Structure 1
Amino acid sequence: MANFNNYRDFDEIARGIKSGRSEWEKGTHKRTGNSYAHIWQIMNNDRQFFNNERNDYKQKISDLKHTYHPDLIAKQTERIDMEFDKMVAVVVAAHRSMIKEFTRSRHEQVTKMMRTAPTQSMLNLLETLKMRDDLDSVELHDLLPVFFDNYHAMRALQTISREHGITLHAPIQLDCASMHKMIDEAEAYLLGACAEMCKPKGKGDIRYNDFFTVNSEEKDKVYAPAYQSFIEVLDYVPQLQDCSVEKNKLSAAEKAKIDWYYRDVAESATKTDIAEHTKSVMEAHPEMVDLLKLSDYAEYVEIVEAAKETA
C-alpha cells in the first residue's frame, strides 16, 4: 500500500482539470452562437465533452484504488471533484454570456425590422386599398403575401381589413411583439438548459432530457418540441438570414408566402392531391416557381414539370 503523503498521481489529474478551467477563463473556448439551432449544437457538443472529461478522471481515480489507501482515495476524489465543479462553473458562465449576448442581438434585429419603412410600391397599393369601399376577405387574403416583406405594410393592411370588418392573421415572423416575447422565452429556456448542461447523465432536470438528446444518425435533429418551435420561427426572420449571391434557401417572407398558398391543403392529402395543388399554384403564380423549388414542395414541382414534358 502506498504512503498517504504520495499525491503525485492525484495532483496530475487535478492539474489537467485546472488547465482546462484556465483555458475557459482566458476565453480560448469562447462560444458565439449565430442561430438557435447553432446554440443547441454548441451546448450538446460541450455537454458530451464534459461528460467524457468527467468519466475520464473518474476512471483514472478508479484505476488508483489498488495503489492507494481507501481513505486517501476518498479525500483526493473530493478535492478533484471540487476542481471539476470550479471548471463547470466557468463553463456555465461562458454559455450564459453567449446566450444573453445572442438574445440581445436578436432583440436589436427585430427592432431594426420595425424601423424599416415600406417600399413605395407597397405604399401606393395601400393608398389604393384605402380608397376602396368594396374589399372582401378573399381579395385581402390574396393580397396578403405582397406585404410579407415589411412589418409596417402588414400592419397597415391589417388596419384596412379591420375597417372592412375582416380579420387578417399574419405569420408570427411578421409580428414583432410576438417575436420579442418568443426571444425572451427562448432565453429563459436556454438559461435553464445551461444550468443542466454539465450535470452527470441522470442527475439533471428531466425537463431538458429531450433538449440534450442527440441521435447519431440524425445529428441535426432537435427532439425538444418547445425548442424546435423557437428554431422554426426565430431562425427564419428575414433580417437575420445570411446574404449570399446564389439563392439557395427561402427567406421567412418567401416561406410565409408559400405556406399561405398551401394553407388549404389538408394534412391527410395524398401526394397526388399535393401535386395537383402545386400545379394550380404554379399556373396562378408563375413568379413563385423558382421559390417553390427551394421549398418543401420542390418534389411536386418536379412532378408537375415532368408531366408537362411527357404530355
Structure 2
Amino acid sequence: MMHRGTLTLALTLAAVLAAAPAAAQRAPREGRAGAGPASAQADSPNPVKRTWDFTKRFGIPRFDPQDCTSDPARLAAMLEDYNARVDAFLAGPTDPKKLGLERKNYVKQVLGTARDIAAWRETFEATGQRSPDSDVPPLAADICRAQMQRHQLLALRDGLRAMARVYPDMAEIAPQLAEADAALAQMGDDAAIRRKVEANRAAALAQVRMKPPVARNPALEKGLHDGFARLVPDETILRLHLYSSDWYVHRNAITSVPEYRQIGAWVATRRSDGTCWISGIDLWQNYTGGGFDAGEYKLGRAPQQILCENLPG
C-alpha cells in the first residue's frame, strides 16, 4: 500500500508536468557555435548568447599543410566554413559589450601574424636553396614546400579580413593585411612558384663542386672504379677521388679485435641524358681471423648533380 505522503508527492509532480507547455518539453538544447553548420549560430536570437558562442571559436585560422595533393581542397573547404560562420554571425544581432571584452585578445592575435608572415615568406624565398654538400630532394618536393607557405598565408589573410569585418575600427589589422597581401603577391601563382624554386635550385647547383682526393692509391682507385662500373653500368665514369686517406678499421669495443674495414671514393659520372653526377662507393671487407676477405663494393650516399663544366679538369 502506498504511503499517504508518497501518494501526495506523486500527484503533485504529475500535475506540474502536465501543466508544462508541450513545446518547452520538446525544445532541443542550444548547439554550440562551431559544432555544426554555420547557420546554427543564427538559432539563438539572444545577442549575448550568439556573441559568446562566436567568440569562443573565432580567431585567426591556422592551416596545417599535409601534402600538395589534398591541401588545396582542404584549404578551400576550411575557409568556406570559416567565412560562412563569420557571415552567419554578422547577419544576426551581436553584443558590442562582449566584443569589446574580447578585443584585446584579438589585437594580440592580429599583431602575432607579423611573425608568421615573415617566417613563411622567408621559408618560401629560401626553398630550393641549399649548401653544395646538401642532399637534393626531387623538384616536386621543393615546389610542394613553397606552396605550403602560400596555403598558410591564404588562411591567415582570410582571418585578417574576417577580423576587419568583426572589428571595422581595429587599426592594427590594416598593416598586417598589407604584409600578407604583399607576401602572396610576391609568391604568385603555381607557375611563378615553380620558376622561383627552379631558379633557387639552379643557383645552388652552380655552387656544387667535387672535392679533391685526400690521397692517391692506384690499386684501390682501380678496384673502386671497376666496382662502380659493375654496379652502375649505364653511367660513364669521368673522375674518381678517394675520400679516405687510409682504411677505416672498426674494432670490437671489448676485445679490440678488428671486425671489418672500409675505404671509399667520390665518383663523377655522365648519364645518358648528358647530366653529370657525383656518387659515392665504398669497399667493405670483413675480418676473417687471419686477415680481411675480398670484400664487397657498395654504393654510398645518394647521387648529387653537378654541372659538367664544374668538374675538375
TM-score by length of structure 1 reads 0.29
More helix by percentage: 1
Bigger-Rg structure (1/2) = 2
Greater strand fraction, Structure 1 or Structure 2: 2
